[in-house]
C-alpha cells in the first residue's frame, strides 16, 4: 500500500477576532444575483476553490455573521479530504484557527479558507488553481466543509470581519440566503489551451499534482507525469494508494506516457482531480476501460 503524504497542519496559529464565535455549519444555504458592473475596483477573477470540474454545493445559515457574504462549501461525491485550490493568484500571509489561511491578492483583496485538515504555510506564493490545503472538519467536528470569504481592505495588509464583501465567483455575484443552497461546477482549470479530442484509445484526465510514473502498478519509479491535463490509455486494479488519514484512496492504476520518463508507464488514479475513491473516469465522466 502506498501513502501520499499531505503537509502537516501548521503549528503556528493566528486567532482572528472574526472567528471567535463561529458556529458549526449545520444548516447553510445560497442564492445569486446578476450585476452589470462590479461595484468594487480591481477584484481578481475569483474561481471556486476546488479542482476543475468538481461539483460544489454552496450554503449559508442564519447567524453566519454576515449571513449574506460567508459561504460554506461541500464537494459533492467527496465527503472529506478534497484538495482546496487557490481562488486567485496571491500570497499566503496568515494562518489561524480553525484550519484557516488567508491569501493576499493585492489591490486590497483577500480570500479566506477555513476548516482544512492541513494547508500550506505562511509565505507560500500561489497561482490560481494551486492546491493550498485539504477539506476537513477542524472546528466543525463531523461536518467537513470549506468556509470561504472574499474581503476588500484597500490600503491595509490585513482584513477583518468588517471587510467581508458579497463574493463574485466565476463571474457570478453570490448573495447568500439561508435555506437556499445552489450547486456550481468549478471552473478553476489550468490556464492552457484545451487538449484535442481523444484519438484512438486515449482518455483525457486532470491530475491535482505531479504524479510518480512507475514501471508497473506499484512498481519502480521511472519518471513524472506533471500536474494538469494528460491522456491515459486504460486501467488495471493494483496496490492501494491513499492519503495520510486514509480518508481517500484508489486501487486503479492508469497506463500513460510520462512527461519525464518512458512511455507506457503507470500512475495511480489517486492523482485524478475528480470522481472520488476507487473511481477512474476521464474528464467527461467516461469510465476508463480495463487494459487488455
In order of 1, 73, 256, the CA distances from 131 in angstroms are 24, 16, 23
Mark whether 78 and 211 lie in a shared domain: no
User: Residue 17 maps to which CATH number?
Assistant: 2.70.70.10
Q: Indicate whether 165 pLDDT > 80.
A: yes
Mark whether 176 and 226 lie in a shared domain: no
Q: Indicate whether 161 pLDDT > 50.
A: yes
Cell numbers for 109, please give them: 483583496
Q: Indicate whether 199 pLDDT > 60.
A: no
Mark whether 25 and 87 lie in a shared domain: yes
Say what the pLDDT of residue 168 is.
95
* Residues 69-86, mean pLDDT to the nearest whole number: 94
CA-wise closest residue to 8 among 245, 281, 166, 271: 245
Measured distance CA(291)–CA(234) in Å, rounded: 5
Q: Indicate whether 122 pLDDT > 60.
A: yes
Domain-ending residue, one of 185, 205, 221:
185
For residue 1, being part of any structural domain is answered with no
Residue 56 pLDDT level (bands cut at 50, 70, 90): very high
- The total number of structural domains in the chain stands at 2
For residue 4, being part of any structural domain is answered with no
Mark whether 51 and 105 lie in a shared domain: yes
Q: What is the mean pLDDT of the chain?
A: 85
* Residues 5-34, mean pLDDT to the nearest whole number: 37
Mark whether 135 and 234 lie in a shared domain: no
* Residues 267-279, mean pLDDT to the nearest whole number: 93
Say what the pLDDT of residue 35 is.
52
Mark whether 178 and 85 lie in a shared domain: yes
For residue 32, being part of any structural domain is answered with yes
Domain that holds residue 264: 190-292
For residue 2, being part of any structural domain is answered with no
Can you give the pTM of this predicted structure?
Answer: 0.57
Residue range 218-231, pLDDT digits in tens: 999 999 999 888 89
The mean-pLDDT minimum among 34-48, 61-75, 88-102, 235-249 falls in 34-48
Say what the pLDDT of residue 285 is.
86
φ, ψ dihedrals at 50, nearest 5°: -140, 160
Mark whether 166 and 226 lie in a shared domain: no
Amino acid at each position: 500500500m502506498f501513502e501520499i503524504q499531505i503537509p502537516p497542519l501548521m503549528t503556528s496559529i493566528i486567532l482572528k477576532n472574526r472567528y471567535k464565535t463561529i458556529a458549526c455549519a449545520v444548516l447553510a444555504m445560497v442564492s445569486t444575483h446578476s450585476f452589470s458592473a462590479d461595484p468594487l475596483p480591481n477584484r481578481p477573477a475569483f474561481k471556486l476553490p476546488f479542482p476543475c470540474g468538481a461539483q460544489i454545493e454552496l450554503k449559508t445559515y442564519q447567524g453566519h455573521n454576515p449571513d449574506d457574504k460567508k459561504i460554506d462549501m461541500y464537494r459533492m461525491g467527496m465527503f472529506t479530504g478534497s484538495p482546496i485550490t487557490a481562488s486567485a493568484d496571491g500570497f499566503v500571509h496568515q494562518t489561524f484557527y480553525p484550519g484557516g489561511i488567508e491569501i493576499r491578492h493585492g489591490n486590497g483583496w483577500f480570500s479566506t479558507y477555513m476548516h482544512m485538515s492541513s494547508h500550506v504555510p505562511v509565505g507560500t506564493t500561489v497561482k490560481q488553481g494551486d492546491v493550498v490545503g485539504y477539506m476537513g472538519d477542524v472546528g466543525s467536528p463531523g461536518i467537513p466543509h470549506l468556509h470561504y470569504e472574499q474581503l476588500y481592505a484597500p490600503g491595509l495588509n490585513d482584513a477583518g470581519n468588517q471587510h467581508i464583501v458579497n463574493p463574485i465567483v466565476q463571474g457570478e455575484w453570490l448573495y447568500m440566503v439561508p435555506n437556499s443552497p445552489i450547486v456550481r461546477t468549478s471552473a478553476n482549470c489550468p490556464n492552457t489551451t484545451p487538449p484535442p479530442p481523444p484519438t484512438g484509445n486515449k482518455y483525457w484526465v486532470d491530475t491535482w499534482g505531479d504524479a510518480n510514473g512507475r514501471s508497473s502498478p506499484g512498481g519502480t519509479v521511472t519518471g513524472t507525469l506533471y500536474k494538469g491535463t494528460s491522456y491515459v490509455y486504460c486501467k488495471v486494479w493494483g496496490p492501494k494508494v491513499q492519503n495520510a488519514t486514509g480518508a481517500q484512496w484508489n486501487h486503479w492504476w492508469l497506463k500513460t506516457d510520462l512527461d519525464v520518463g518512458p512511455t507506457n508507464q503507470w500512475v495511480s488514479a489517486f492523482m485524478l482531480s475528480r470522481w472520488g475513491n476507487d473511481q477512474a473516469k476521464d474528464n467527461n465522466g467516461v469510465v476508463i476501460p480495463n487494459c487488455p
